[in-house]
């Protein structure tokens, strides 16, 4: 069963909100992140990114590479929300 929630995060000294969906279990899950602020679409093309923790693959919309610092900031907020193993260590 998927878990869906919103989480607040800081990026470049500003606060934002991301919508997060986690499906799967533990190290074999898919995390989909969508940012709600259109100004972040320059750093996260399409405003959405998917992380496959089993395959350690990070995919942005339109096959563009998302800004790593932005994704790290969001994953830190997701980790705090989930109170679990650091998720940002699962992708390169």
pLDDT band at 8 (very low <50, low <70, confident <90, very high): very high
Main-chain dihedrals φ then ψ at residue 85, nearest 5 degrees:
-55, 145
pLDDT band at 56 (very low <50, low <70, confident <90, very high): low
Q: How far apart are CA 19 and CA 5, in angstroms?
A: 6
pLDDT (0 to 100) of residue 43: 82
**Domain spans of the chain?**
3-83
pLDDT band at 92 (very low <50, low <70, confident <90, very high): very low
pTM, two decimals, is: 0.76
Main-chain dihedrals φ then ψ at residue 34, nearest 5 degrees:
-130, 125
pLDDT band at 38 (very low <50, low <70, confident <90, very high): very high
């Amino acid at each position: 069963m998927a878990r869906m929630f919103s989480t607040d995060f800081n990026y470049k000294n500003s606060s934002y909100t991301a919508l997060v969906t986690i499906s799967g279990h533990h190290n074999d899950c898919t995390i989909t992140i969508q940012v709600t602020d259109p100004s972040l679409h320059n750093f996260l093309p399409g405003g959405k990114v998917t992380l496959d923790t089993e395959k350690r693959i990070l995919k942005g919309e339109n096959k563009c590479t998302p800004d790593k610092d932005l994704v790290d900031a969001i994953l830190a907020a997701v980790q705090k929300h989930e109170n679990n193993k650091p998720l940002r260590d699962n992708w390169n």
